[in-house]
Every structure is written in structure tokens, then in C-alpha cells.
Amino acid sequence: MYRNNPLSKMPWESFLKLSPEEKGPYFMRSDRPYHALIAQQFNRPTLDRLCELASRIRRIAKTRGGTLFLRDLLSEKRAMLYFAQPSTRTFLSFYAACQIVGIQQAEVRDTATSSELKGESPEDSIRTFSSYFDLIVMRHPVGGFAEKIAWMLSNSERPVPVINAGSGKDQHPTQALLDIYTLQRSFERHGGIEGKRIAFVGDLARGRTVRSLALLLTLYPGVKQYFCAPESLQIGGDILAALDKAGIEYEISSDFEKIIPEVDAIYMTRIQDEWDTAQESRQIEIEKFHFKAHHLQALKEEAVILHPLPRRKEISPDVDSDPRAIYWRQVRNGMWIRAALILTIFDREKEVDRYYHDLTS
Ligand code: NCD
């Protein structure tokens, strides 16, 4: 257990006053994540290390011996997957990641089946989880709630790490990690992510995956970001301010067809209409932000199309068979990078390095 936890020395009111950049170091243990809560806590060496580790785990898992080795790494630990919002891929990839590294997992996916239905506060429910489990992976509709939990647990008698698996309209840092891993692999033979032009398309105002990824991309020199959306769904001013501060070039646009031939990666997203108050997004003419089969002709030969999924009509299914459509590979990458993150949190990644070196030497 990580007792020397900087969050435990900080009063809640002081913590609340910090900017995300200032909060970041409180979630780290020297250069490794202890909690994984916001994109701002990651630096470039940490991202590179997580990607390297994910690839090593992927390689080791190719053999039965390797799979058994990995499965023993965290077999004494238990994880709680607490998902208070719908999820398919994030939940299942965390579940599969837990299986890969041998951490035993339990789940609450519907607060109506827990004592929250009897009026227990989510804080008390999670405090209960921390009595039984060594890691909490949580998705919650309230932005910032995972941070509050991390602070609360750090100041309890069982300070366990917390991973944010999606917090309201705010952030989805582990999705951004898998997006980075996917981009890195895609551009491996084409000079890396550095200097690439990357477009975000769709609901950028409420899409938490976009917000986290836009922040992580500031760590790659020369990347130009394009935000392509109807005006009412454009990216938040806080993200643009962070980009300005980092000296990142970006373009705001509503002309999807114009940017298709210009960019190296297109990150499509769905309309997040679960946040509508009066079905307002129904009024928006969204079709011109959909990627159709005929758009493939305009796309650069080495460009890639990503999507955090689930999709609706943003990408027509006949695009799926094009080699530039990499969203299904992106899904699988989520499992490897999350396994890497869990191992890193528990400081067990050096055993993977040793096994990998023996395997490849
Ligand atoms: C995303 C999410 O939940 O924010 N899904 C995911 O985790 N892959 C994107 C979405 O729901 O549109």
C-alpha cells in the first residue's frame, strides 16, 4: 500500500483550488501513476513507457507460458470495477486486462443493485469497496467525482488507487492512453506522432475522450489539431486555453470535407445526446460530419480513422474494410494499455521487462 501519499496531507478545500496541472503531481508516485485520473498528470516519458510496456505484454501473451507468467503477476490483488454509467468496451477491456495480469475482479455496474438504492451515498459505497479491494476502476456521470474519491480514500485507513474510466463530460484518460498507443503504432514507420495533423470530429463539447486526447497530444511536438464540429458542439475553451499555453497549433472548423485530405488522422465521435436537456442536438445538421465511403478517396494513403466507439452513423460500415480504418484495432489496444497501467500502478512492470528480455535475447 502506498502510505506516503501526497494527497493525504492536503485539505479538501486546498485541493479543490488547484488547477488540473497543479493536481497532476498529487496523483503520481515519483514518475509513475498511482491514481490515473486526468490527462494532465501524464508526461511524455510516462506515455512512452506505458506504450512500450503494453507492447511487451502483448508479445509475452502470445505463448501459453507467457500468459501464465503474466497471470501470476498480481494474483494476490483484487480490483473493483464500479461503472455507474453504461459501458461496453471500457468495462470489458478493464475486465480482460485484470484477467491478463491475474488481478481478481468484481463489478457493480448498476447502482440499483447496490445499497445506493437504499439511499447510501456513492462515497460510502466506494469506501466499502476499498475495504475489500486493492484497486477501484470507476466510471461516473459527475465530472471530477473520481478525483474526489481518490482524495477521500487517500485520507482513509485504506488508501487504494483509483482509475478514472470516464467522468461525466470531463475526461476519459485511459481511453486517451489507448488512443495514443494506437496512433503511436500506426505511425511507427512514418515518423511517429510528432508533426502529424490530427482532426477531431463530432461532439467535441461533450465528448470526454476528445478532451483527454487533445491534452495528451500536446506532449508530441509539431502536432496540429483540428476541431471540426457544428458551432454548438465545438471544443471547450479550457482545452483551447491549455493548447495555447502549450504553444500548440490548432484550427477550428465546420467544413469536414475540406479537412479530410489535409490530415493524417481523423478521430470521429458520436453526438453525446444523453446530456441534452431538451433534445437540442436533434436540431443540429450532423450528417455533414459523417465519414462516408466516398470520403476514402480524399483521405491520404497513410492516414488513419479512429473512433472511441460506440458509433451510430458517423462512420458508414462499408468504411470498415479499408486498411485505414483502425477503430477495431483501437478496441483491442485498450486491453493491453490498461494491463500496462494496472501493472505500473502496482510497481510490477520490471518483472515484465525481465521476462521480455529473456524472451527476445
Ligand atoms: C466513450 C465514452 O464513454 O466516453 N466510449 C468509450 O469509452 N469507448 C465514447 C462515447 O460514449 O461516445
pLDDT (tens digit per residue) in 19-39 = 999 999 999 998 899 999 999
Which one, of 302, 309, 311, lies nearest residue 330 by Cα?
A: 309
CA angle 42, 19, 128 (to 5 degrees): 75
Q: Which residues contact 166 (CB under 8 A, 6 or more apart)?
A: 85, 87, 90, 139, 140, 172, 175, 208
Atom index in ligand 1 nearest the CA of residue 172 equals 4
| Phi, psi of 99, rounded to the nearest 5 degrees | -65, -40
Instruction: Retrieve residue 199's grid coordinates.
Output: 482532426
Residue type, 29: R
Pocket test for ligand 1, best of 87, 209, 269, 274 (most atoms within 8 A of CB): 209
Atom index in ligand 1 nearest the CA of residue 86 equals 3
- Annotate the chain with three-state secondary structure: CCCCCHHHHCCHHHHHHCCHHHHHHHHEECCEECCECCHHHCCHHHHHHHHHHHHHHHHHCCCHHHHHHHHHCCCCCEEEEEECCCCCHHHHHHHHHHHHHCCEEEEECCHHHCHHHHCCCHHHHHHHHHHHCCEEEEEECCCCHHHHHHHHHHCCCCCCCEEEEEECCCECHHHHHHHHHHHHHHCCCCCCCCCCEEEEECCCCCCHHHHHHHHHHHHCCCCEEEEECCHHHCCCHHHHHHHHHCCCEEEEECCHHHHHHHCCEEEECCCCHHHCCCCHHHHCCCHHHCECHHHHHCCCCCCEEECCCCCCCCECHHHCCCCCECHHHHHHHHHHHHHHHHHHHCCCHHHHHHHHHHHHC
211 lines ligand 1 (CB under 6 A): no
With the CA atoms of 116, 117, 119 and 123 taken in that order, what torsion angle do they form, in degrees rounded to the nearest 10? Answer: 10
pTM recorded for the entire structure:
0.97
308 lines ligand 1 (CB under 6 A): yes
Question: What's the confidence (pLDDT) of residue 1?
Answer: 46
Using the mean position of ligand 1's atoms as its centre, give its distance from the Cα of residue 308 in Å: 6
Question: What's the confidence (pLDDT) of residue 195?
Answer: 98
Residues of the chain with CATH 3.40.50.1370: 6-171+333-350, 173-331
The CATH superfamily assigned to 6-171+333-350 is: Aspartate/ornithine carbamoyltransferase (3.40.50.1370)
Question: What's the confidence (pLDDT) of residue 223?
Answer: 98
Residues of the chain with pLDDT under 50: 1-2
**CATH hierarchy code of domain 173-331:** 3.40.50.1370
268 lines ligand 1 (CB under 6 A): no
Question: What's the confidence (pLDDT) of residue 4?
Answer: 63
Which residue's CA lies nearest to atom 11 of ligand 1?
310
Provide the annotated active-site residues.
Answer: 89-90, 118, 139, 172
Is the Cβ–Cβ distance between 348 and 73 less than 8 Å? yes
90 lines ligand 1 (CB under 6 A): yes
Instruction: Retrieve residue 296's grid coordinates.
Output: 476514402
| Phi, psi of 44, rounded to the nearest 5 degrees | -65, -45
Using the mean position of ligand 1's atoms as its centre, give its distance from the Cα of residue 81 in Å: 16
Question: What's the confidence (pLDDT) of residue 3?
Answer: 53
Question: What's the confidence (pLDDT) of residue 52?
Answer: 98
Using the mean position of ligand 1's atoms as its centre, give its distance from the Cα of residue 284 in Å: 20
